[in-house]
Amino acid sequence: MTKVVHKFGGSSLSSAERYQAVAQIVLSHCRAGDCVVVSAAGKTTNTLVKLWESYQQDDSQGFSDILLQVENHQAELIRALFESQQQHTLLEQLDLELQRITSHAKQDTLHEATLLAHGELWSARLLACYLSQLGFAAEHVDARNLFTLHHGQLLHQQNKQACMERLKDTSLYVVTGFIASDVEKNTVTLGRNGSDYSATLLASYIDADAVSIWTDTQGVFSTDPRKVANAIKYPKVCRAQAHLLARLGNPVLHAKTLSPLKHSKIKLQVRSSFDVESPPTEIVKEGYSKAKRFITTFEDLDLVRVDAIAPGEVGQLSQIIQHSIHHFSAQGETFILVPAQSTHRVLKALSGRANIVESALQGFAVVAPSANIAQLQAQAAQLLHEQNIVVRFNHKDNEYALFLTDQAIDSDVLAILHDKLVNKGRELAVVIAGLGNVGEVFVNQCQRQVAHLQQQFDVKVVALLRSKKMLFSANGISLSAWQQQWQNESVDYNNEDLIERIGELDYEHKVVIDITASEEFSKLYPQLVKQDCHLISANKYAGTAESTWYQQLREQLNERSLHWRYNTSVGAGLPINFALADLQHSGDKVTQIEGVFSGTLSWLCSSFDGSKPFSSLVLEAKDMGYTEPDPREDLSGRDMQRKLLILARDIGLTLDLADIELEPLMPDDLAQGSWDEFLARKGELDSFYEHLYQQGITQDKVLRYTGSLQVFASGKAKAKVGIAYVDKSSAIANLTPGDNIFVIKSVWYEDNPLVLQGPGAGKEVTAAGVHSDLYWLVQRLK
Ligand SMILES: Nc1ncnc2c1ncn2[C@@H]1O[C@H](COP(=O)(O)OP(=O)(O)O)[C@@H](O)[C@H]1O
Ligand SMILES: N[C@@H](CC(=O)OP(=O)(O)O)C(=O)O
């Protein structure tokens, strides 16, 4: 049975709602024997640090104000989460503890680590009691009884034994993060952010299989996603880079988190307690992931030169100030970066062996593959110069370049640095589904087009899919020899395999290009989005799916900042979606769209002159690859109905297929049965069409199959696709067979409509339209 340690940081426990959400995660992800490690709720440790400072400064008013703040926060959580009796007991316990803190403060016997420990003790108690209230057997455990340190070193054997004795398989254990004790039973902490370390330590002691660090972002990003909206989420980060980021003070993992996992097979992942479905970032052993680019920022640091530093001394200093300290050597000297508010304590501990070189520094470090560091350092220096940011100190190591500056690196500057230093090295994995008429042409065009895109972005086609077989090569398929590779290496697959393989792709961006006509494949979109895939569809099913499903998909894409392009689902390569988007973004309002949106029906209606039966034209169109795989999808009008729905949704209307009136271009009962049955009855189609055609001649008009959408001032809409008789002189009557025409009226194009006309079907133009979507996507990602 696999055993997992789950760690929930302060950000996951910041309110009663978050406790409830965490409890739901525990209910669905944990079983007896698993452990949950918790940090102090929200910013509780920061508040307790302030409480400690006011105590040290003898600020009794400040002390009681902050203590009241702590009390209110805890009491609020208790009141929101618990029923009467349990609420009463927990409030009483809290009250006793706060009284004890006050009396220690009065007697001058308050102890820093013991005070800070309350945050984690409260969290563990509340979560365990809340889980029990929900009927899940859970116990809270004080990690001071599990983890003992002697002279700052963990007593591993003793700790392992304590864990094995205390933590059985009978219950779920909610263990306090951050805290431990020394051999005299005094409380010590593992340093700020230390609960991640508690979790991996515990995992190593209880021989767990995996550790999940649940936090408020979806994983590890290229930079802080709260500051840079287009930060890249990495599916995999290697341990060395995660460790380096932590040593540089990045909060997403604590500096020592990885050390207990060094010689173990324990898996580590970082995932979001706010978005449980989002795939995590896996922190993997060397060789299992390529080195990536990151930028991590610094705030308010002092640069201190140390004469000579003994092994382990930086760790001891970190322990004293409860914060990680980055150290490095430059020009034969040793430097440490210390949070400014703690510098006096560090200097005191180093008694005369250290001096401040620069103070009140801000800045950032670029972490990247070693081959790129020198170039990135030069580029970063240039960018800072352009932004008028003065560099007070810089340093280059094998895997990072460090810049210490006067001004803070605000979100705007960070976004610029990120765009120029990180985005450049990006990769896009392309999965192409559907190798039919259009798909094959698209793949063949890919060789030239991907080479063109490569100049801006590292684009690799990693998978080609037919309905049952796939060719999957995570490092890229050779586009000049894909048919050969398909012959030799394609394998059977099912949807589960496919989603799993896509989830494992170690690329910054992924796009699935759906050139199938398969409704079943379109139903995979939500799962593909969960794997952080952008989507490009020529397939119309998802765009015309039932509106709740469609809206959910849109929301899912939005939450993950993913793009969905489907330009070729209407009008093949014609830029109709671009035109509509453009009108709306520039403040116009579309009031009417009319036209012929089916290349097939356009070709059939314009080509028919009575010289041969209508059904033989249908078969000709099918042979030319003009129709949907089953031409009845075109003749039924459903294909055009779908296109009109896509256009309607594009201009912001919430319609469903059923809201669009449909008049088919064939007798209703021919829609049923197999294609062969249809062929046997094709004469019925011929007389149906002949009759309509003659009616047109009688009216001195021509028969066309059209769609129309009208939007009224009230916001309501009327939409219809069906047979129409149009004047012989009209643009619609004079279409080149196969062309589409879109006649758009809007507030600005009221009297003289905007007309878009051109080939609305055909392999080459449709494949080119899909390339246009891919190009658009790459421009957005750049
Ligand atoms: N590269 C990064 N990837 C993800 N998060 C980052 C990164 N750099 C900084 N962060 C910040 O780290 C925060 C998570 O750390 P922290 O607040 O300590 O979480 P927790 O309370 O769960 O331990 C995120 O909210 C985010 O703002
Ligand atoms: N509560 C401690 C320990 C910790 O790890 O917290 P978090 O998991 O919220 O970073 C701190 O704030 O430093």
Which CATH number goes with the domain that contains 152?
3.40.1160.10
Nearest CA to ligand 1 atom 26: 224
For ligand 1, whether the C-beta of 74 sits within 6 Å is: no
In a domain, 736, yes or no: yes
CB 394 within 8 A of CB 402: yes
In a domain, 713, yes or no: yes
List pLDDT tens digits, range 610-625: 899 999 999 999 888 7
The arithmetic mean of pLDDT across residues 153-167, rounded, is 96
Nearest CA to ligand 1 atom 18: 251
Q: How many residues make up the chain in this entry?
A: 782
pLDDT the model gives residue 311: 83
Quote the strand ranges of 57-186, DSSP E.
Answer: 138-141, 148-150, 153-154, 172-176, 179-182
Whether residue 774 is found in the same domain as residue 744: no
Whether residue 394 is found in the same domain as residue 509: no
Contacts of 584 (CB under 8 A, 6+ apart): 590, 651, 652
List pLDDT tens digits, range 22-69: 999 999 999 999 999 999 999 999 999 999 999 999 999 999 999 999
Whether residue 26 is found in the same domain as residue 170: yes
For ligand 1, whether the C-beta of 299 sits within 6 Å is: no
Q: Is the pLDDT of residue 205 over 90?
A: yes
Q: Is the pLDDT of residue 297 over 80?
A: yes
- ipTM score assigned to the predicted complex: 0.98
- Domain range enclosing 386: 294-424
pLDDT the model gives residue 710: 96
- What's the pLDDT band for 559 if we cut at 50, 70, 90? confident
Ligand 2: atom nearest CA of 7 is 8
Nearest CA to ligand 2 atom 10: 193
Domain containing residue 564: CATH number:
3.40.50.720
Whether residue 420 is found in the same domain as residue 431: no
The winner for highest mean pLDDT among 283-292, 546-555, 731-740 is 546-555
For ligand 2, whether the C-beta of 123 sits within 6 Å is: no
For ligand 2, whether the C-beta of 279 sits within 6 Å is: no
CB 598 within 8 A of CB 640: yes
Whether residue 647 is found in the same domain as residue 757: yes
In a domain, 515, yes or no: yes
The arithmetic mean of pLDDT across residues 666-671, rounded, is 91
Domain containing residue 397: CATH number:
3.30.2130.10
Ligand 2: atom nearest CA of 197 is 5
Whether residue 511 is found in the same domain as residue 601: no
In a domain, 675, yes or no: yes
Whether residue 181 is found in the same domain as residue 330: no
For ligand 2, whether the C-beta of 12 sits within 6 Å is: no
What's the mean per-residue pLDDT of the chain? 93
In a domain, 202, yes or no: yes
Least confidently predicted of 145-154, 233-242, 554-563, 619-628: 619-628
378: CA distance to ligand 2 center in Å? 35
Best mutation site among 6, 11, 39, 49 for ligand 2 pocket (most ligand atoms within 8 Å of CB):
39
- What's the pLDDT band for 425 if we cut at 50, 70, 90? low
The Cα–Cα gap between 121 and 181 comes to 14
Best mutation site among 121, 195, 257 for ligand 2 pocket (most ligand atoms within 8 Å of CB):
195
Residue 330, φ and ψ in degrees, nearest 5:
-145, 135
Q: Is the pLDDT of residue 298 over 90?
A: yes
Q: Which residue has the tokens 């077989």?
A: 469
Order of strands across the sheet with 326-330?
326-330, 333-339, 294-306, 354-367, 400-405, 391-396
Give me the amino acid identity at 553: L
Ligand 1: atom nearest CA of 245 is 1
The arithmetic mean of pLDDT across residues 184-196, rounded, is 93
pLDDT the model gives residue 27: 96
The arithmetic mean of pLDDT across residues 78-107, rounded, is 96
130-148 burial, b at 16+ Cβ within 10 Å, e below that, comes to bbbeeebebbbbbbbbbbb
The Cα–Cα gap between 239 and 210 comes to 15
List pLDDT tens digits, range 334-375: 999 999 999 999 999 999 899 999 999 999 999 999 989 999
Residue 687: how many CB atoms within 10 A of its CB? 12
pLDDT the model gives residue 573: 87
In a domain, 106, yes or no: no
CA 257, 260, 263, 269 dihedral sign is: negative
pLDDT the model gives residue 151: 86
Provide the pairing of β-strand 210-215 with 267-272.
parallel
Order of strands across the sheet with 754-759?
660-662, 717-727, 701-711, 590-596, 739-746, 754-759
Nearest CA to ligand 1 atom 8: 224
Whether residue 454 is found in the same domain as residue 369: no
CA 282, 286, 291, 297 dihedral sign is: positive
Whether residue 307 is found in the same domain as residue 443: no
Whether residue 394 is found in the same domain as residue 430: no
Domain containing residue 589: CATH number:
3.30.360.10
In a domain, 720, yes or no: yes
176: CA distance to ligand 2 center in Å? 11
Whether residue 661 is found in the same domain as residue 687: yes
**Based on the structure, what is the number of domains in the chain?**
4
Ligand number nearest to the C-alpha of 191? 2
In a domain, 437, yes or no: yes
- What's the pLDDT band for 280 if we cut at 50, 70, 90? very high
For ligand 1, whether the C-beta of 177 sits within 6 Å is: no
Whether residue 539 is found in the same domain as residue 614: no
Residue 382, φ and ψ in degrees, nearest 5:
-65, -45
Which string of DSSP letters, residue by residue, matches 240-257? HHHHHHHHTT-TTS-TTT
Nearest CA to ligand 2 atom 8: 9
Which of 377, 409, 424 is a domain's end point? 424
The arithmetic mean of pLDDT across residues 507-531, rounded, is 95
The Cα–Cα gap between 526 and 542 comes to 10
For ligand 2, whether the C-beta of 678 sits within 6 Å is: no
122: CA distance to ligand 2 center in Å? 13
List pLDDT tens digits, range 454-489: 877 889 999 999 999 999 999 899 999 999 999 999
